[in-house]
Structure 1
Amino acid sequence: MPERRRRTVRDLRRANRSVLLRRLYFDGPLSRQDLARETGLSPASVSNVVGELIRAGLVAEAGSVESDGGRPRVLLKTAAGYGHLVGVDVGEGRVTVELFDLGLTRLARADLPLGDGGRDARAVVRRVLDGLAAVIEGASADPASVIGVGVGVPGVIERAPDAVVHRQTAGWDGVPLERMLREGTRLPLFVDNGAASLGQAEMWFGAGRGHRDAVVALVGSGVGAAVMIDGAPYRGAAGGAGEWGHTTSRVGGAPCRCGSRGCLEAYVGATALLERYRAAGGPAGTDEEAALAGLLADPSQAAAALREEIAEHLGAGIADLVNLFGPEKVIIGGWAGLLIGGRMLDRVTAAAAAYALRRPFARTSIELCRLGPEAVAVGAATLPLAHLLDGGDPAGARWPGGGTRGIMAY
């Protein structure tokens, strides 16, 4: 039997800090009395931890409210200016890097194109590092203020202990992406699957807020999903859960970029869709977003037939998610998913109803992502934010007994 780790006083303080931080971040401003009542912590514990957070600059006063017969209660909130978060979306056509304050207000953005669909891992790393330097400079931010850099990337993420990426569609077989990035920056790094990071953001701030079990589907050039169970992404034994795009939609069907045949991605991923559209007489073009918008608006019979195929395959894929996981919601995101859903969500929902079991389908809803078509960068920024809210400061604990950040190079 493995030895059970004994909890120390530091562990307890960290747990209390996390409980209070999360409550203030998501539900604040709140008073100390509110925090004690809603968390079950003693007033003395709340007062001690809140004092620590105020001294660290992470919590600030936000006015006061009248109390019943006593002194006014001071309201508290997390301080948006405490530090900066960086979110990186590694797409197939570009790398997007965004800098946010702690309240996830965007302060700077850099878009850097990828000419080869992201196959060259070293080129991806260069774009990420260039974008990181650009947003820090663009916002006139002190590098020491950066709490962490979250990187959302397609593929299976293996932790060994640094993140290693298996991205079969791009020819990545065990690319040590986190190590490669660490060679160019001293800032704290958090690497995760892009759909999983989008799922976390959508559960915190978007259509999933207030729910515990949902599936967030990411439809872009490729297709992925985040299966959120009890509020957290299900990752599977090897970190490969959520590769929904490579479930089989048609046995022996269209070739997929992964090397298999009949994958869902081969029928609803934008790259495959536009190849079929061009083969059916659609205009050639390099801008995928404009081309997909053209396909969805094209009155021709060929385009209409292709749209019906999209609705049926996407609906059947969603039905698989409903039958397997029974989520409260299926949330469709990604730039292509929002374009498709914005034009034909009713047809996709009807197809899902036709393929799903009645009982689980009756208990779920199908909605669009509320965070917009470029929410992966926001989701990536929630990776260092989650670490902070869990009671840690990845850049060097500014709590009693710790030092200051001291991360001066990027």
Structure 2
Amino acid sequence: MEVRRTTVRDMRRSNRSVILTGIYRDGPLSRQELSMRTSLSPASVSNLVTELIAEGVVEEAGSVESEGGRPRVLLRVAREFRYVVGAEVGETRVRVELFDLAMNVLATVDHSIDAPEPAMVVKHVLEGLSSVVATSGVRSELILGVGVAVFGIVDADGVVHAQTLGWDAVPLGQMLAEGTDIPILVDNGANTLGQAEMWFGAGRGATDAVVALVGSGVGAALVAGGSSYRGTRSSAGEWGHTTIVYGGRSCRCGAAGCLEAYVGAEDVLNRYRETGATLKAIDEEAAFAELLELAVAPGPAAAIVDDTIGYLAAGFANLVNLVNPERIVLGGWAGLLLGERYLPRLREEVGRHALRQPYAQVSIEVCELGRDAVALGAATLPVLRLLRDGGALPS
């Protein structure tokens, strides 16, 4: 077994990473605060910050009064040092957004799709990339990378396994990379939603959390000890394909009784239509919103929505008992619609199914970043790489 020795260069990059991550995640911060948070000496912090400022990665952001001394200069990551792009590949649309490093949206483009066929997805992502670059006026060489959020299990090299949609080892990362010189990073949409909410939204401050994505499909991002838990081969978080009813409804994955078959928007609408009732809306999102509006009165819609809340609560209770998170965040476009109307009832139902002690330790919240948090989270993928590399740019 080969043992790799840590060099001075490695240590310096690691220290730069710690400092840069602290400034980005919790800034603006002063040099004194960085020294206290990182346990690095004031001299080390000063030297590394001076480097980062000289390279344009970090900039001064005003000052605050200190007790009995000179004002403390605050530091932040320079928002225009570089730019990032986030793409959300859903089952009905592809959304591409360009951000500065403060995660301000500078340009957005949406493409509606009938079915997420790989070649068509690649075409829309690359066209969207060209469009947001042209609209924003940002030079492509200043873009750190493109983060792409997609359904299914995503290997480290960007190969996608989406059993529910017939994607079998699709080399999406490679297909996208062939059409652009900008680095491509691919991850599961629930994971990117989770990263966005943990960094900027309802998960901020938690170290053990679950961020659930409920849309056409269902998934979850697991965070343990402040780090994303991916499992042996990145497939952890396929919560939608845990069995909620033995021998139950057929799921798109081919199994029976999966949570997604009872909570995913497509299946909720199918259960409603199986009662013989109809909806005016054709678009899935509009139809789901219409169903929730109809559910305010007694009838088939109310019964279906009541069952959906019950199944979702049981799924959350399984997470409470199994993972013991301090926080569960409900997101995804369908999850947001459900949470806006039924969060108190959902919390109550989770309490009926979960063990009392872990239930008393968990808070259940709705995603704070809105329905476009998946694309925002995708854009944090190249930011995360920049932080891990201590501000070094990809070759």
How would you bin the TM-score normalised by the shorter chain?
A: over 0.9
User: Is 2:127 the counterpart of 1:130?
Assistant: yes
Q: Are the aligned partners of 1:152 and 1:192 in contact in 2 as well (CA < 8 Å)?
A: yes
| 1:243-392 superposed matches below 5 A | 243-280=238-275, 281-298=277-294, 299-392=297-390
Cα distance in 2 for residues equivalent to 1:137 and 1:305: 49
2:21 corresponds in structure 1 to 22
Q: Give 1:167 shift.
A: 0.1
Cα distance in 2 for residues equivalent to 1:342 and 1:59: 38
Q: Are the aligned partners of 1:278 and 1:284 in contact in 2 as well (CA < 8 Å)?
A: no
Cα distance in 1 for residues equivalent to 2:233 and 2:35: 39
Q: Are the aligned partners of 2:57 and 2:391 in contact in 1 as well (CA < 8 Å)?
A: no
Q: Give 1:234 shift.
A: 1.1
Alignment RMSD: 1.5
User: Is 2:207 the counterpart of 1:212?
Assistant: yes
User: Is 2:155 the counterpart of 1:158?
Assistant: yes
Listed one character per residue, the Cα deviations across residues 148-174 of structure 1 (whole Å, up to 9, x for unaligned) are: 111111101123xx2111000110110
Q: Are the aligned partners of 1:147 and 1:393 in contact in 2 as well (CA < 8 Å)?
A: no
Structure 1 unaligned segments of length 5 or more: list them.
398-410
1:234 corresponds in structure 2 to 229
Cα distance in 1 for residues equivalent to 2:351 and 2:63: 50
Residue type of the alignment partner of 1:209: R
Listed one character per residue, the Cα deviations across residues 178-232 of structure 1 (whole Å, up to 9, x for unaligned) are: 1111110111111111101111111111111111000000000110001111122
Residue 41 of structure 1 aligns to a residue in which SS? coil
Residue 174 of structure 1 aligns to a residue in which SS? strand
User: How many aligned residue pairs are there?
Assistant: 392
Cα distance in 1 for residues equivalent to 2:254 and 2:165: 11
Cα distance in 2 for residues equivalent to 1:178 and 1:229: 27
2:59 corresponds in structure 1 to 60
User: Is 2:83 the counterpart of 1:84?
Assistant: yes
Residue type of the alignment partner of 2:284: E
Q: Give 1:33 shift.
A: 2.4
Q: Give 1:48 shift.
A: 1.6
Q: Give 1:236 shift.
A: 1.1
Q: Give 1:66 shift.
A: 3.6
Cα distance in 1 for residues equivalent to 2:216 and 2:131: 26
Cα distance in 2 for residues equivalent to 1:147 and 1:90: 20
Identity, % of aligned pairs? 56
Q: Are the aligned partners of 2:281 and 2:290 in contact in 1 as well (CA < 8 Å)?
A: no
Cα distance in 2 for residues equivalent to 1:128 and 1:341: 30
Q: Are the aligned partners of 1:220 and 1:269 in contact in 2 as well (CA < 8 Å)?
A: yes
Residue type of the alignment partner of 1:154: F
Q: Are the aligned partners of 2:247 and 2:256 in contact in 1 as well (CA < 8 Å)?
A: yes
After alignment, is 164-173 or 268-277 more displaced? 268-277
Cα distance in 1 for residues equivalent to 2:316 and 2:72: 48
Cα distance in 1 for residues equivalent to 2:91 and 2:202: 25
Q: Are the aligned partners of 1:312 and 1:348 in contact in 2 as well (CA < 8 Å)?
A: yes
After alignment, is 198-207 or 387-396 more displaced? 387-396
Residue type of the alignment partner of 1:287: D
Listed one character per residue, the Cα deviations across residues 303-353 of structure 1 (whole Å, up to 9, x for unaligned) are: 111011101100000011111100001110001001011111222222211
